Amino acid sequence: MSIGEFRNDKARERFHAVYGRLLDRLWPDAVDAFDLPTSFGATRVHRVGPPCSDPVVLLSGANGNSLMWHRYIAPAARRRTVIAVDTVGEPGASVQSAPLTGAEDGARWLEEVLAGLEATAAHLVGCSYGGWLALAHQMHRPGRAAALTLVEPAGFADPGRRFYAWLIAGGLAGLAPRALRPRLSRWVGNSAILETELMGLGRASIGFRRALPPAGVFSDEELRRVRVPSLFLLGERSALHDARQVAERVDALVPDAEVEVVPGAGHALATDDPELVAARIVRHAAG
């Protein structure tokens, strides 16, 4: 399996010019950015607050990076150290050097990141693919995560036609003139296209070849391994899975889980209702 990388130097330079500009504009001045060595490549992390053993660690969805959390940093960092991670193999500031072939590799990468942060009781917050990585870490490398908050996590259904149609419709709507996007956002059920800066970053990342393993569906036995307090936030209208079925499965299999199905929200829950998601992250971390 190949590694995620930019097609050429021009594509890399174009992306990092946009990425750096948006970091300066959207992130707090006090953010500390540094790289952690892992078996799969140098991983960029962005820390707000002093080092501690129990930070909130944010993991983005597929084709995303730390910037997806820009609305969440201030509320989450009021009482806890917050660390946003550029997942290796995604378009961001991390540089992948070895392939990840499955969930165990994803868990090993995240374990090495947490070890580099000297985190022994981290609160992992994962969105979509990031939620899949957080769950995989708990299943294969438990110990450093004290709790999980999972925002529309992958791993409960194979993406089908409905999901890919949703992705394509959102991508096309994101190319429309800015004035038309609010109406199109409601029509396609994807509020992420209203994030103008991130849509620009997405266009700049077209020259990146993503090569991460698909988010495989977790078995019942794997889900029973999740033994830390876990909050599942699901969009009622998710295009990825049936939220009610996921809720029933989690209730039956995950011993210490809380599930909330958010009415009217879809797979883009993090942008559909950022105030609710931020409040739940803060509450669950405090608990």
Of 47-61, 185-199, 246-260, which has the strongest mean pLDDT?
A: 246-260
Q: How far is CA 208 from CA 85, 109, 219, 254, 284, in A?
A: 18, 20, 31, 36, 35
Lowest mean pLDDT segment, chosen from 25-34, 144-153, 228-237: 25-34
- pLDDT exceeds 90 at position 184: no
pLDDT at 196 over 80: yes
Q: Quick one: angle between helices 196-204 and 9-26, nearest 10?
A: 160
Q: Give burial (CB, 10 Å; 0-12/13-18/19+) of 196.
A: exposed
Q: Do residues 54 and 10 lie in contact, with contact meaning Cβ atoms separated by under 8 Å? A: no
Give pLDDT, residue 180.
Answer: 83
The pLDDT-based confidence of 279 (bands split at 50, 70, 90) is very high
Asked whether residue 234 carries a pLDDT value surpassing 90, the answer given is yes
Average pLDDT for residues 193-218, to the nearest whole number?
Answer: 92
Q: What is the mean pLDDT of the chain?
A: 93
Q: What is the pLDDT of residues 26-59, one digit of tens each?
A: 988 888 999 999 999 999 999 998 888 899 999 9
Q: Residue 89 and residue 65: Cα distance in Å, rounded?
A: 10
CA separation (Å) from 137 to 124, 260, 261?
Answer: 10, 22, 24
Dihedral pair phi/psi, residue 67, rounded to 5°: -65, -20
Work out the average pLDDT over 229-249.
97
